[in-house]
Structure 1
Amino acid sequence: MSWGPRCSSLPTGAVGFQARCSSTQVFMPSYLRSQSEMPRPAEANISVTVPMIEQLVSSSLLLALTAGASTLLPRVDAPAPFNSSLFKDLNVSRGLNYHYYAVPADTGKSTLLFLHGFPSTSYDWRHQVAFFQDKGYGLLVPDMLGYGGTSKPLDPELYVSSLVTRDIIDILDAEGIEQVVVIGHDWGSKTTSRLANYFPERFHSYAFLSVGYMTPTLFATPFEETLSLNKAVLGYENVGYWDFFSSEGADQIILDHLDSFWDILLTNDTTKTITDWSPLGALEAFIANDTRIPPADYVTPEERAIQMEAFRQGGFAGPVNWYKIAHGTLEGQDDKGIPQENALIHKPLFFGATLRDYVTVSAPISLAGALVASDRSVTIREYNSGHWVQLELPDEVNGDLLEWIEGLSLDA
């Protein structure tokens, strides 16, 4: 099935729908704190039934979406476009510190909350910060738990979604902001999903990049079963690297071979992830041999240096916990506390599918999931990019997000 690159907002129904597609204290930033090409298809009419999509979603393949990898949080000082004076630190209700960038909204403008994934920091949103800050939108851009200037606890149990989402709400409360638009990428999309499940009253709408909405039952499927199911459909083990990230000592192995790891994390040739990132044992072998491949051209040498230094200082012991809770049973057990009535999103949803992302395989699987995730409108955009769409195609992403946000009529 071919999905058009640009789909208008799609009102979803109980039986079926048709999509018409046309294509508080302030601190200096401390990211370096240590521990404590597919052309867009022509316009097309797509008729999809809910049972057909539910069959795809229930197959557990959505787990492929969670597999994303993000980039990394950097900044020794606060590189442009970040303003050092706008970084804050907050001790949330459970005693952990969150480091975040906070830009007040101009009068009549809404606030946008950006949530990164693995392995990233708020620096991954630099292109979006520059764009939306210039247009007067309020911004909240935290270093997620385990990253940058935020606390990096070693206990995986502290990373489950019911706790992390409460942390994010604590930030909103500290800033005195009642509702925001939230945009997630990679594991940030998981947190975005759970914010919709636990605190729907605090959000105007939800945007997912590369990794789509994750249902409350997604992590109930054992890892081995998911790995087998996905391989049967895709022909390769797209989430095999979770096993490595969840293993003892993985964080140090990554640090010891950081150049090799960064090469394959951010690469123009995303087909390399099929052979050298995703399968069981492949990523560990790739970096242990210090294999080098050309770096992505959408990240400058200076940006790469900032990103890598952030992880040399902060390490990966915290970040890999996001995989440990999903690889084991912690996240699946935690998700059992989600209210049944909140399993479906009741607000507008945006999904940006990445056509050359062979790990999260966000089109069409995540796309299918997005279409049944909300009982309101669903806006779909497809991008000829790999996993890091906000870095690779920032102008397209920013323009599409702006159009969608303006269409929500939130500004007074």
Structure 2
Amino acid sequence: MDPSGYKKYTTSRGLTYNYYAAKASPGKPTLVFVHGWPSSSWDWRKQVAFFQPKGYGLIVPDMLGYSGTDKPTDPKLYVGSALAQDVMNIMDNEGVGKAVLVGHDWGSKIVSRINFHPDRVLAVAFLVVGYIAPSPDVDTEGFFAFIRETFGRDLYGYWRWFAEDGADKTMEKNFDALYSLIFPEPPTLWREVVAPVGGVKAWVEGNKQGPPPKYLTPDVKEHYKQSLLSGGLAAPLCYYRVQMQGLNTEDDKLVPQDAYDIKVPCFLGYAAEDYCSIPELVIPQTKPHVKGPFTVKEFASDHWITHSHSPQLNARCWSEALAL
């Protein structure tokens, strides 16, 4: 991504974001790409390379806590409604009234909070993690219990350690071990190590390491290492702390009941080899809330669709689902 395409902007909350932007050609919509953990705007570089030459507008932020954006460590600043408002502020700064919003991982949580801004959205897309409806009556422990009862195992056991004090320092010290779990080879490491409570902590503290997947090149690892370690992991881990502390549950109480459903075209791309965000959970949590056109596609991928399957994603999916 061309560094000259980046801008700085301070939102109404006083937080400065770094984001990539390109103006739309006449008749073309603007696409807003929202990354998750532990990524940055750079993760969408293949989408930028695909859509920008075709005249689409682009807004691709480094989300709060990452890369060139501010990195506060107060979890209260990471509630869903506030992050969604930051994105709307950036759209305002670019003069964009309505856009297509695309989220991956925790980015899907932020895109889900279009509940607060339905008049700003042309269409939505969720990658790997689906739509996350407001859950003002279900706390995190209740969610974990539901997962175990429904699927017979933990899916998000790693959240507990990610929210612990000091986890960031251990991750920074043993970054190569963490990286080998972020990008698992084989993908079943997520089922065996990441999903169970205590698995990631034991792996990283023991400095265990594994080979990278074939789709990853050395420059990807170097980017992640430089981007994350330069700013530290305390801020990115706030996406887990805000969840474990129940702050998002409280935040969800602000969503109007009549705004729970998605009334614009929706695309869901799930990963057949992601053993945490499994399709048996992702599809049912999304489908009942989609009241407009809905397209679901499976990818023979682990969690990182944008790294491993961008050609298929770009060429096959977007136009049919989102009328691009």
Q: TM-score, normalised by structure 1?
A: 0.76
Q: Give the structure 2 partner of residue 138 of structure 1.
A: 57
Q: Which one of 319, 329, 334 corresponds to residue 236 of structure 2?
A: 319
| Cα distance, 1:267 vs structure 2 | 2.0
Q: Does 1:399 align with 2:284?
A: no
Q: Give the structure 2 partner of residue 371 of structure 1.
A: 287
Q: Flag the structure with higher helix content.
A: 2
Unaligned runs of 5+ in 1: 1-81
Q: Give the structure 1 partner of residue 84 of structure 2.
A: 165
Q: Which one of 199, 209, 213 corresponds to residue 127 of structure 2?
A: 209
Is the 1:220–1:329 contact (alpha carbons within 8 Å) kept by the matching residues of 2? no
Q: Where do 1:33-182 residues align within 5 Å?
A: 82-182=1-101
Q: Which one of 109, 112, 132 corresponds to residue 193 of structure 1?
A: 112
| Cα distance, 1:148 vs structure 2 | 0.7
Q: Does 1:307 align with 2:211?
A: no
Amino acid at match of 1:94: R
Unaligned runs of 5+ in 2: none
Is the 2:132–2:286 contact (alpha carbons within 8 Å) kept by the matching residues of 1? no
| Cα distance, 1:235 vs structure 2 | 3.0
Q: Runs ≥4 in structure 1, deviation > 6 angstroms?
A: none
Q: How many angstroms apart in 1 are the aligned matches of 2:227 and 2:137?
A: 33
Is the 1:117–1:185 contact (alpha carbons within 8 Å) kept by the matching residues of 2? yes
For the pair shown, the structure with the greater C-alpha radius of gyration is 1
Q: Deviation string for 1:197-237 (max 9, x for gaps)?
A: 000100101000000001111x6423233223312333321
Aligned residues with identical type, % of pairs: 37
Q: Deviation string for 1:226-274 (max 9, x for gaps)?
A: 2233123333211111000110011111101100100111123111111
| Cα distance, 1:127 vs structure 2 | 1.2
Q: How many angstroms apart in 2 are the aligned matches of 1:404 and 1:119?
A: 29
Q: Give the structure 2 partner of residue 336 of structure 1.
A: 253
Tell me the number of residue pairs that the alignment of Structure 1 and Structure 2 aligns. Answer: 324
Q: How many angstroms apart in 1 are the aligned matches of 2:7 and 2:25?
A: 19
Helix, strand or coil at the partner of 1:100:
strand
Is the 1:370–1:378 contact (alpha carbons within 8 Å) kept by the matching residues of 2? no
Q: Give the structure 2 partner of residue 359 of structure 1.
A: 276
Amino acid at match of 1:240: G
Helix, strand or coil at the partner of 2:253:
helix
Q: CA 1:127/1:268 → structure 2, altered by over 3 Å: closer, same or farther?
A: farther
| Cα distance, 1:310 vs structure 2 | 0.5
Q: Give the structure 2 partner of residue 261 of structure 1.
A: 178
Q: How many angstroms apart in 2 are the aligned matches of 1:143 and 1:357?
A: 24
Q: Deviation string for 1:309-337 (max 9, x for gaps)?
A: 10110111111111111112100001100
Q: How many angstroms apart in 2 are the aligned matches of 1:310 and 1:243?
A: 24
| Cα distance, 1:402 vs structure 2 | 3.1
Helix, strand or coil at the partner of 1:280:
coil
Q: How many angstroms apart in 2 are the aligned matches of 1:172 and 1:251?
A: 31
Q: How many angstroms apart in 2 are the aligned matches of 1:223 and 1:339?
A: 21
Q: TM-score, normalised by structure 2?
A: 0.97
Q: Deviation string for 1:361-412 (max 9, x for gaps)?
A: 1x1321123221211111111111111111111111112333236x62x6xx
Helix, strand or coil at the partner of 1:344:
coil
Calculate the aligned-residue CA RMSD, in Å.
1.3
